[in-house]
């Protein structure tokens, strides 16, 4: 079904910069123009006179696009602001470049947004974005356009959604960024045609992606569970292996990670500990492995010898040395309990 895109009162392109604004007024100017849909908390480590920002903006018949570079600190929308302005938009943020991690936070947890990906945000839901210096393209689409054209679009985006990294979404990202970069050299007629095509391409991409299992919660959780287990198995030697490292590496929130592990009745750190102990047991029962027990334990991230020995005995009912001696003598592998 082709979406009907209602035209706003005006169609225009403009550029904004703080270059010609008095330094003492730049933050207020930027907050009232480009950041007018969110509240901004500027970084305290940047002097007032040092704040600079620039943006290209295009208000089209089918959407609104803003391409900007700035260093804010925190952008957030609370429940009061959402009620006041209605939040009648869905926002696609194509993160072009960032010097620091960009974190999306709401009541459901947090999500790390990497450069090169698209974040879909529901402007009706309170959220916060924590960031350092960054460049991004924001494409705003009226809710009525998307909800009418994309039946399976989640009604509540909760912690935001990173669009799946598929060939189609990668192409969408590239087209959004290329369009934003080309705006200054295009005529008004070219901008209008390109924006209309971009809007329909975005809607068609979201329609297709939401029909795939990538947006199905159960399927997503199953994939995240498998990815988490594989990451743990391949990174047992990391001393910092834990929920924060897992969430950051798998590009999910810790809340999502905890939910997935709780579905399997295990805590994240308990699963990591179990995987480490099993790996040690496997190596100790391998007659071809002649590494010292302490080196085996350290190789899977268990460098505290006494803690490792106690945990191993609780898990398998005998000491690491007993398991190795039994394996070498051919009398078994110790007591194995599932």
CATH code of 166's domain? 2.60.120.10
Do the domain assignments include residue 198? yes
Of 214, 247, 271, which residue sits at a domain end?
214
Structural domain containing residue 315 = 219-329
Same domain, 200 and 238: no
**pLDDT at position 94 over 90:** yes
Collect all residues with Cβ–Cβ distance below 8 Å to 166 and sequence separation of at least 6: 209, 214
Do the domain assignments include residue 336? no
Same domain, 69 and 151: yes
pLDDT of residue 177: 94
Split into its structural domains, the chain has a count of 2
**DSSP string computed for 202-269:** HHHHHHHHHTSGGG-HHHHHHHHHHHHHHHHHH-TT-TT-SHHHHHHHHT--HHHHHHHHHHTT--HH
Do the domain assignments include residue 172? yes
Do the domain assignments include residue 54? yes
pLDDT of residue 213: 44
> Would you say the pTM of this structure is higher than 0.95?
no
Other C-beta atoms within 10 Å of 318: how many? 15
CA-closest candidate to residue 287, choices 330, 321, 320, 317: 330
Same domain, 286 and 157: no
Same domain, 233 and 125: no
**pLDDT at position 265 over 90:** no
Same domain, 208 and 224: no
Do the domain assignments include residue 1? no
Same domain, 176 and 235: no
Q: What is the mean pLDDT of residues 291-310?
A: 85
Average pLDDT value for the chain: 81
Same domain, 90 and 155: yes
Same domain, 193 and 309: no
How many residues are present in the chain? 338
pLDDT of residue 222: 65
Do the domain assignments include residue 2? no
Q: What is the mean pLDDT of residues 282-302?
A: 86
**pLDDT at position 312 over 60:** yes
Of 173, 188, 214, which residue sits at a domain end?
214
Question: The domain that contains 229 carries what CATH number?
Answer: 1.10.10.60
Out of 18-32, 117-131, 161-175, 320-334, pick the least confident. 320-334
pLDDT tens digits, 27-58: 888 888 888 788 888 777 666 566 788 899 99
**pLDDT at position 76 over 80:** yes
> Which is more confident, 328 or 335?
328
Same domain, 24 and 131: yes
Same domain, 223 and 200: no
**pLDDT at position 67 over 90:** yes
**Encoded tokens for 171:** 């192409």
Same domain, 43 and 132: yes
Of 214, 241, 275, which residue sits at a domain end?
214
Do the domain assignments include residue 239? yes
pLDDT of residue 153: 66
Do the domain assignments include residue 286? yes
Q: DSSP H helical segments within the chain, as ranges?
A: 26-32, 79-85, 143-149, 167-182, 188-210, 217-234, 243-250, 254-263, 268-284, 293-299, 305-316, 320-329
> Which is more confident, 25 or 256?
25
Distance in angstroms (rounded) separating the CA atoms of residues 153 and 147:
7
> Which is more confident, 157 or 29?
29
pLDDT of residue 13: 92
Percent share of the chain, pLDDT over 70: 84
> Which is more confident, 36 or 154?
36
Same domain, 45 and 170: yes
pLDDT of residue 48: 58
């Amino acid at each position: 079904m082709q979406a009907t895109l209602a035209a706003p009162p005006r169609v225009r392109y403009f550029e904004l910069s703080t270059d010609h604004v008095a330094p003492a007024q730049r933050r207020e100017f930027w907050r009232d123009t480009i950041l007018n849909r969110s509240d901004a908390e500027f970084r305290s480590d940047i002097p007032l006179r040092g704040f600079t920002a620039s943006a290209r903006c295009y208000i089209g018949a089918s959407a609104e696009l803003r391409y900007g570079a700035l260093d804010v600190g925190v952008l957030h929308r609370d429940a009061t602001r959402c009620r006041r302005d209605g939040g009648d938009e869905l926002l696609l943020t194509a993160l072009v470049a960032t010097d620091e991690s960009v974190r999306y936070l709401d009541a459901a947890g947090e999500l790390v947004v990497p450069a090169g990906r698209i974040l879909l945000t529901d402007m009706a839901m309170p959220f916060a974005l924590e960031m350092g210096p960054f460049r991004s393209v924001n494409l705003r689409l009226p809710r009525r356009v998307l909800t009418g054209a994309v039946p399976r679009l989640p009604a509540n985006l909760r912690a935001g959604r990173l669009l799946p990294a598929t060939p189609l979404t990668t192409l969408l990202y590239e087209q959004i960024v290329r369009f934003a970069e080309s705006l200054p050299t295009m005529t008004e007629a070219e901008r209008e045609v390109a924006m209309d095509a971009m809007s329909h391409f975005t809607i068609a991409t979201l329609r297709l992606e939401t029909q795939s299992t990538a947006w199905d919660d159960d399927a997503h959780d199953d994939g995240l569970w498998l990815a988490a287990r594989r990451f743990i198995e391949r990174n047992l030697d990391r001393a910092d292996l834990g929920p924060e490292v897992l969430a950051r590496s798998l590009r999910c929130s810790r809340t999502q990670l905890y939910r997935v592990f709780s579905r399997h009745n295990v805590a994240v750190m308990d699963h990591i500990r179990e995987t480490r102990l099993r790996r040690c047991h496997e190596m100790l029962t391998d007659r071809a492995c002649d590494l010292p027990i302490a080196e085996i334990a350290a190789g899977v991230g268990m460098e505290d010898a006494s803690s490792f020995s106690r945990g191993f005995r609780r898990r398998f009912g005998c000491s690491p040395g007993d398991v190795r001696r039994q394996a070498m003598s051919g009398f078994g592998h110790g007591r194995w309990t599932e």
